[in-house]
Chain A
Amino acid sequence: MVSDRISRPSILVVDDEEQIRRALRTILEARGFTVMTTASAQGALDRLLEVTPDLIVLDVMLPDMSGVELCDRIRSWLEVPILMLSVRSGECDKITALESGADDYLTKPFSAGELVARVKALLRRARGAPAHPPVLELDGLVIDLAARRVTRDGLAVQLTPIEFGILSLLVHNSDRVVTWDQIRDEVWGPECIVDAATLRVHVSNLRKKIEPHPAVPRYVLTEAGVGLRFSPR
């Protein structure tokens, strides 16, 4: 639906493993993407001098340079979304990847569905398209971002502007990690200094208002040390 409006977005896959390049090419080409592949950081830099893809999928471990360093270099002149791949799921790796400028992070092994969902989410975000239809319905919870209205089991939920700001940012980035820094920048503004404890209080209040279980979050999930992730399932 959304991707129909985009004419064959191009994706550069940087991974030194032949099997992963092959799998990604098969999965992505089958869904209408144009796929270019390269096995090294130098190959990626060379290719980026010729063409600018719509998205880059980057392995964290490359033979000639770490994916994090490559990401850092690319970020110095390119704004395209970058999706990092890694075999490690440690929180440090996630933080390093996201701090180096990657937009999202996917741990191997991943399913084709997961990969495609992330790729599409990143492309939509890059083009400014909404992640979800204006009204999101999850069991009894209805989130109408356009009307700035949230209801649970038919009853209106009163959210403060900050809580709504956080929810809106999370919903726009459904299934994606949203870092604490991003929340600060987008909800309070880049100049504001907000400490982690304050942020956590707002998130805790938001959860109490929208989550089906007041103490165990199902939608607003914690990504340890990194930030939050909205899971609309």
Chain B
Amino acid sequence: MRASYESLREFMHRRGHLSAVVLVAVATVASMPFRPYLDSRHWGWPYLLIVGSVAGTAGMSAALFAAVLSFLVWNFFFIPPYHTLIVADPQDLVQLLVYLAVATAVGLQTGRLREREAAAIREERHAGALARLSAGLVSGGTLGDIASLADTEITSVLPGATSVVWVQGASGALRAAAGDMPAPPGPVVASRDRNVAYGLPERPSGVTPPDPWPAASDEDAAGSVVVPLRSARGSEGVLEIRLAEGVQLAAEQAAFVVSTAHLLAAFLEARNLAKVANSAVAAREAERLRTALISSVSHELKTPLAAVTASITDLLEPDVAFDEVSARARLREVTRDLRRLDGAIADLVDASRLEARAWAPNPAVYEPGEIVGDVIARLRPAQRDRVRLDVPEGLPSVYVDFVQVSKALGHVVDNAMQYSSGGVEIGVRRGQDGMLECWVADRGPGIPEAERERVFEKFFRGAAGRASKSSSGLGLAITRDLLEANRGSISIVPGRPGTLVLIELPTGERADGE
């Protein structure tokens, strides 16, 4: 019931003049049987009611139309002589003119109220849309979310319109912030270019009435409004609104569009500033790595070189006579320094290959014990004696790059050997989700909790690493990169004496399943 009343009001609102005609006709037809019983002067009251209701729903101009129409109809049908516009009785004429004046006043007054109410509703709707949009902006969605939200709100205010937020992509070309849009239309690009070239214009193009902005230029597409998204920084993008056929923006709608554009520009500016801040952080990190690299290179390469040079030149000096035993002992030290130099160079080369993504894994199926055996074979005999193995038979095969994983495990075992003096346990067991777990445990001082994640950073050296003489600061970073390249992972298990490093590797079963 209420719904049909609302739809009637809605119809009257949109078709005010037609409604006036229909209502006046209905009132006239309904009153016609009673014409003989009533004085001609009383017929004004039903018509006044109609003028009032038209004014309340359709606004002023329809109400004035209804007033004039009912004035004529009353005269024509109810004032003698009937069916002419001639008024015989002067009293009737006075009555008619008073009616016209009252009806016009009622129409004007009610219509004005009605229009104020409508404007208030529109403003409320615009404000609501802007409030929802700004709430969405601060809630921190992605650019795509924000663009869709803006589109929803614009459609709620401008029925039938769609919108696209165009932002500058990485290539410099404009791209749609949401959805899969082809290249932007000419006017959008032209607007961006104007905006970038002149820092202007601040006004949307394509808006004609009531024209607070200059007329649209030739290149602007019909039915489309293009608003530059400008911030204090400059151009952030372009908002394009495609209006429904034949619709043009009213002043308050244009104001809404501009407000929306300001909000979007503020959002884009904040987002771009955050990006700049992030890249500044990245640049600082790169700078730190570069500095650390130079200091590591000079330290790691020069220290063994200095030791070798000192030892060899010492052996060559004529003032001390070395017997063969002590000379060999010195040369063995030299060999150890050289091995360290070779290791440091290998670490640097591996780290740069990984960084340059020039070291793709070449996985195949291996038994986990083959990799462990390879790592142990590379240890010095004294270190080999410290290894305790916990590798059962019948484990699933792993699907990895043998050289890379062996290198990774080698770094972990090397660390355990360096930072502890007792036995080093190397174990393998079946893990979860088709993964195999390999662990390396030592009884050394362990890694403080605060450093457990940081030890995987390049050039990070913990308290123990700083004390140790030989650490390029790259070993565990390389290890993690290598394992991740092989779809594995590495972590340090807390809550036990010494250090327990856990490595997860994908099994062959897992590789088959994918």
Contacts and interface: CB of A to CB of B under 8 A. Distances in A.
Interface stretch (A36-44, A137-145, A161-169, A212-220): A212-220
Contacts of A92: 362
B403 A222 contact: no
A111 interface: yes
Interface in A103-146: 109, 111
A215 B374 contact: no
A216 B391 contact: yes
Contacts of B373: 216-218, 221-222
A213 B403 contact: no
A216 B377 contact: no
A215 B367 contact: yes
A215 B392 contact: yes
6 contacts: A215-B428, A217-B369, A218-B376, A221-B377, A224-B406, A233-B381
A232 to B, nearest CB: 12
Given A217-B370, A218-B373, 6 more contacts: A214-B393, A215-B368, A215-B372, A221-B377, A224-B374, A224-B401
Contacts, number: 59
Contacts of A89: 403
Contact of A215 (B338, B369, B377): B369
Contact of A213 (B335, B338, B371, B391): B391
Interface string A198-233: 000000100010000111111001101100000101
Nearest to A94: B403
A109 B395 contact: no
Contacts of A218: 373, 376-377
B389 A216 contact: yes
A216 to B, nearest CB: 4
A90 B350 CA distance: 11
Interface in A76-100: 89-92
A222 B364 contact: no
Contact of B403 (A90, A216, A217, A231): A90
Given A111-B335, A216-B372, A231-B377, A225 B391 contact: no
B366 interface: yes
Contacts of B389: 213, 215-216
B399 interface: no
A69 to B, nearest CB: 23
A225 to B, nearest CB: 7
Contacts of A216: 369, 372-373, 376, 389, 391
B505 to A, nearest CB: 15
Contacts of A221: 370, 373-374, 377
Interface in B471-507: none
A109 B335 CA distance: 11
A231 B373 CA distance: 11
